[in-house]
Structure 1
């Protein structure tokens, strides 16, 4: 076993986040260091392993490694130093000791006493000691906790105090326990805008703030903290106790679906919880969420629990899982209380399980709320006032009012007449004909309410009664409405009713021109059954002069039919005519329908996007949404279309509000497929507006609905791309893998150019995370893909960046070779593209200078830096010139210090 192997393993481990993979490498490094007999190296590796265990969700293992390093240090402080590291690790040890009920409390106090002795001996502030004495007191419910808290806050911070994020977070929890929420917010205030690099921040303070905001009624801020913190917590097993707080938040805010989603996602983590305390808190919060679900009538629903050991994976009913988790949480709490000699943990667990909601519902995002209401309609004028029917006692006169309705604007008076009819009918028994007419009206009321089965039943009975009374005109009017509703409800046999009505009114023309209405319904039935040619044939039978009022309706149906037959241009022209006629008749509902359809057509056809400015589409939809009676699916569609139009007009920030309303409306109406696809557009709008957190969350919501064999491959890839870019902007490590996944999809398509681009993006994320060795591999893969795609510029750039990443990862020889490959690749750049050749040549010269300077070859480094200055200056790239001149000056300074020795490092 060589020492070099140990250093290589530790170098690789340094590039990994805390977790099993990192821990395995450090454990291997320790075995090799021990085998090599290098005690000092093993000591340093063991310190690193203690951290790996603590932050990698295995704190129990850290006790042994910490005890060994502390003993080695005490045995020979001169040989085994790292005093600061050991004193720092003592804090985590104290904290972890309380999390295992089988470890006697005396041991925790003994470590605390030893910690205080060592801090005093080293001349350090006791601020951290008071912090952890307070934490232990809080855990056991010791009345001394406030006193320790006061000493903690009063003591001076020093280099052993917790970081600028973790220290206030700890204070906040003490204040939260005491119900001092405003003080907790004051403690957090300085942290909110600070740059925090600790692995536990900012998600730690955000989780604490979530509770503070919730308890002080700042619900929107609480939801924001939940969303931001949980995105980080959800990837880390060590954060299981924090995830429990997010579960509790969901249970207290009416977010049961979100809570069940989180619970199911992490349920398997219970089997490998970092410690019993985290398992207890997660089980208690899970029982709260499940209890809410059971109370809402979902006790028989199931959650998927993964396999563990000999237990197979299974779907567990909500009620059964709730009982199991509650029992587990209370059992663990009893163990802690027995160890602590108090009832503190049992009381907390019961309070969590039995907690009452703080708010009925706290929306987690804008599109999770109910859609906005339509504008209030303008006050009705005297002629439209429905109150005039209140004085009418003649049943026939009231029914005649309802028969005279011609448009949606008459509905208010029509409904008032029906209500008055019902009132009068309690005193005056209607005749059979009057009763049949009222039943026909009841069908209209049910149709307007959206009760299709109820409307069909009412009309069937009304038609039967009209037949018995010999009222054939009325019967066929009812059959026409009945047939339309049946076809719209998926019953093609309704076409027989529609045809019968047309045949009757053709043979027996009515004075009110009801034939036109019957023909329009028949044409609509053909369209519903995807028979546009038949619909056009029916429409050709309409004589506009027979009923000029119906002209906009006829053109609207004709436009739909023409578009379905592929005659889009003609259909668009007819639709514009329908819109103009509806406006001229002052029929806003008809105009809105035509404007919406026209906007949809213009927004869907690629060639029209260039010919029709998005502003025209937006103006059409403005008209639609200004109509108060536009509600339900029509309003949802209008918001969605306007959002898409604004997005295509490169106005993503403006598009967000409409897309939010569209998603909310489709979701509220149960149209989940429409909502899913509009979410993809909303995610794109958030991304374009620079709202990366919202973009990632909305795209993640949409992804399950568009992925898979029955999904939408284009929408799926769009979602994945948005997620990857949003994660990159948020600094999330998952972005690297997301881009690799996109590269895999591009490879399936045979698109090497796209594959190179996505590998490039992944490498960029990795190097920003200081995972330079892996970044170098990704850049090298990108260079190969660019080469196969015939993109010499991408190849040169990727080779150069791969070389620099190898330098930063400590492999200077590989960096040298990589720079040689990058310079050789310059020959593939097109000769006619002089500026690009000069730019890339200067970049390579600049980075070669950095490699040479880093490895002590200063004269050669100066030569390359000078060449970079000349190249950038010839292009007028002043910023690049200044950077190259700065590098050249640094190299010159180093040469001045070592004029005779070019081998000395810069």
Structure 2
């Protein structure tokens, strides 16, 4: 039975009580309650009541569970709001000013979400704004102001400072808006836009009316810091760093402030107070900037070798929750950084510019503004030093039962929860046994996150041994030392932890090398490789001399390690050292470039002709591609690229680029560029892979561009972790 006018009004009032913004439960019940009213209002035929019903339904849709992502919401809400817009535009005199204002505010919330929360292409947002402007009469002065203001924000996201400046001047000439904006929210949003455009002077100008309001201390931190007003930045930070309910941009301001003023410990306190923001995937523009500030802080912690194992307690009710409990700041850095980089590149694609990725990269790699800025004492107990609550009941056989689980993430998570409980309950003996078992389990897992966890577990055990040399005992200590070569090999082959952390572990372990063992050989061997990764020829040579002074052992005379040593000198540009190793290399691809650069062309050609068809390892592929690019052997170079495409088959979330693959990227770019320069570019199809169907329309120009993007991401990552721009292989 259809509802009458009064019943519809009563139903709308009842539905409004479900609004989560007024303390209601929201969700499907709210959506369905408002959806059910619309047909009754349509049947009644009262334009104003139908208008109100549709607006209520559109508003309720915001609390709908997004089962298929945000498109679920937008695909349903936009047609409803557009119907309201067209209805009002046709007969504006029929509708109350209150409801019309509500319609415009909802439309602007959609624009805001498209710009920041669920990023859409900038052109699509502009088209939506154009459509809104077409249906907005000149008499709605402040609505037109709001449309232009959103245009300015979209151009701010794109990094078009000139367009922002033009719109800004036009808006300022109109005075302060009287509709659609909250004064404080507009000022802080505009200030954030100007900060990211590099105009901190303008940001401070915008925030000047709010500067006396303690509630806006967070908003002033970054502009003060960049303007050199350090005392005011400290005061703003101190007033608000421990408060609850900070917004994403507030957290970002405090994290950047701490990371760039030598206050990493305070930054970790801020980070731990706001860990809930970093639990899920980085998916919005504001989350991207906040995560980038967290990554900067983690990098500073790693650079100072302050990284520690810590517990991320999960208090969810899911009995099958597989969220990792044991973390390090290297772990958090590795997870967040790639998500930030990925989203910044995707937003750039939506914008048609490179602004977001460039600015995010600048923040990720920002240097201190001041090395050490004193802060007043803590206003609350530092959250990052708090003892975690227990996570699992510890029984006598708890560790054995965890080990008995099938090899999977479940086993690791179970061990982590046991470690959390052992730490919480002060069970140091049990915690040590669990940490050893966890370290050995992580040694079998691939991926940057697990490698970082393995390294951190070893560091914690090494620090424990250094502090209490008799605590571990012979059997435990043997297991620790067995883990040492693998841990160093992993973090020097794949980008994982900072050079300072690697050096810190070397420093911790060296005084405790066991007599009559190979312990010192392992440490000195990887000390050489660390300096090679950093591109420091002098330090690498000194480290090699220290290793070479030890009695020789069979481990480092094996063929794989001879080849590894040859690659070190190639990476450092020491061709003569590689040539001197020729009897050990027996015409390996390692000799191609040293021979070619030394003018021993025939010998280089003989090696190439004999081995190029079987080259599979990235370093061999790189050497042959480099040879082909330098000598103009384009036919072989083209064949090698086509045969080795698996090396270059990556996706944006791939953080597994070994140093060997970096070498292959460099050489592939040279070879592809040579083919294009020689007029030999052509169209070809990338073959099907386990994860992808075949893809046509590839050319060598496109291949080179793709390799440049990926190689740039990976070499930058190596440079960040090694603390030097000389990480990558020598171009020669």
Structure whose residues are more often helix by fraction? 1
Give the TM-score normalised by the residue count of structure 2. Answer: 0.42
Of structures 1 and 2, the larger Rg is shown by 1
